[in-house]
Amino acid sequence: MKTEIMAGVPVDCLTYEDIIREVPMYIKTGEKMTAISVNPQIIVEGKKHPEVIEFIKNSTHRIPDGIGIVLVSKLTKGNIKQRVAGFELMIKFLEYANENCSSCFFYGAHPDVLKDMLRKLEIEYPKMNIAGSIDGYTSLKDEEIVDKINQVHPDFLFIALGFPKQEQWLNRNLDKLNVSIFQDVGGSFDVLSGHVKRAPAFFLRFHLEWLYRSLSNPRRIGRIFQLPVFLFKSLLWNLKNR
Ligand code: UDP
């Protein structure tokens, strides 16, 4: 697997198929797969969270989650040709779990979002084992959350606390968890529950989902400006470190 460095952050050149193909091996051996999204926001804000960057460096799969990452790779003559969106990867993991009767644990999001998502997942993925869930506003301590997850020993753990909380939580607790596949999934529970709409077809077709989400949520509007900052930062870093 080839890896590219963007402004000091590693991103792996891989596809959905590459990742899914490796799942059975990780589940069988009990080795830990950490499928972590790398996107412009993380690269722009990464300096403020050095432990997150360190966690990404130590992860097994650093997915190119964003068309900006593909663009920088192209401009620097790299190998990343295809985006691996965190949301789509989660869907592929859920499909795998359904086909193979694997067990999944869901940690994060508002309690009502979590409840509505689980209700939908039960219908859409009837053979998947929903081993447990904890909402993202729980008063449980890290150790208690880890205990609850370990008691059911799930194959997959999806964690939806947003950046940087989800990566920080994983960084603190990864070693203590008996789980094979970990994924940080940001706002995916909100979309799967139906509380947040997916972008219209036009935005999806041109890989502009991030733009739709930024425009439709005033809290995220500032993220629009992160893309040019990310492009500038990554290209400058590449010039200096080539
Ligand atoms: N969240 C949470 N606990 C927190 C903060 C956030 O469970 O303390 C959840 C929030 O409810 C949402 C998700 O984390 O479901 C973050 O979504 P956002 O769209 O901000 O993340 P992104 O996709 O941009 O990483």
Instruction: State yes or no: pLDDT of 141 exceeds 90.
Output: yes
Q: Are 127 and 98 within 8 A, CB to CB?
A: yes
Instruction: State yes or no: pLDDT of 11 exceeds 80.
Output: yes
| Nearest one of 108, 105, 116, 168 to 140, comparing CA atoms | 108
Instruction: State yes or no: pLDDT of 242 exceeds 80.
Output: no
Residue among 89, 188, 190 to mutate when testing ligand 1 (max atoms within 8 A of CB): 190
Query: Which of the two residues, 1 and 44, has the higher pLDDT score?
Result: 44
Q: How far apart are CA 16 and CA 154, in angstroms?
A: 21
User: Which atom of ligand 1 is least distant from the CA of 219?
Assistant: 20
User: Which atom of ligand 1 is least distant from the CA of 136?
Assistant: 7
Note the pLDDT of residue 218. Answer: 79
Our count of domains for the chain comes to 1
Q: How far apart are CA 6 and CA 104, in angstroms?
A: 32
- pTM, two decimals, is 0.95
Instruction: State yes or no: pLDDT of 10 exceeds 80.
Output: yes
Query: Which of the two residues, 88 and 205, has the higher pLDDT score?
Result: 88
Q: Are 64 and 35 within 8 A, CB to CB?
A: no
Highest mean pLDDT among 40-44, 116-120, 234-238: 116-120
Q: How far does residue 189's CA lie from ligand 1's centre (Å)? A: 9
3-state secondary structure of 196: coil
User: Does residue 161's CB lie within 6 angstroms of at least one atom of ligand 1?
Assistant: yes
**Residue 197: band (very low, low, confident or very high) from pLDDT cuts 50, 70, 90:** confident
Q: Are 168 and 49 within 8 A, CB to CB?
A: yes
- Residues 63-86: pLDDT tens digits? 999 889 999 999 999 999 999 999
Q: What value does the mean pLDDT take over residues 99-128?
A: 98
What the block records as the tokens of 209 is 């989902």
Note the pLDDT of residue 1. Answer: 84
Instruction: State yes or no: pLDDT of 195 exceeds 90.
Output: yes
Note the pLDDT of residue 221. Answer: 82
User: Does residue 164's CB lie within 6 angstroms of at least one atom of ligand 1?
Assistant: no
Provide the percentage of residues in the chain whose pLDDT is more than 70: 100
- Where in the sequence is the domain holding 126, given as residue range(s)? 3-240
Instruction: State yes or no: pLDDT of 15 exceeds 90.
Output: yes
Instruction: State yes or no: pLDDT of 95 exceeds 80.
Output: yes
Mean pLDDT of the chain: 94
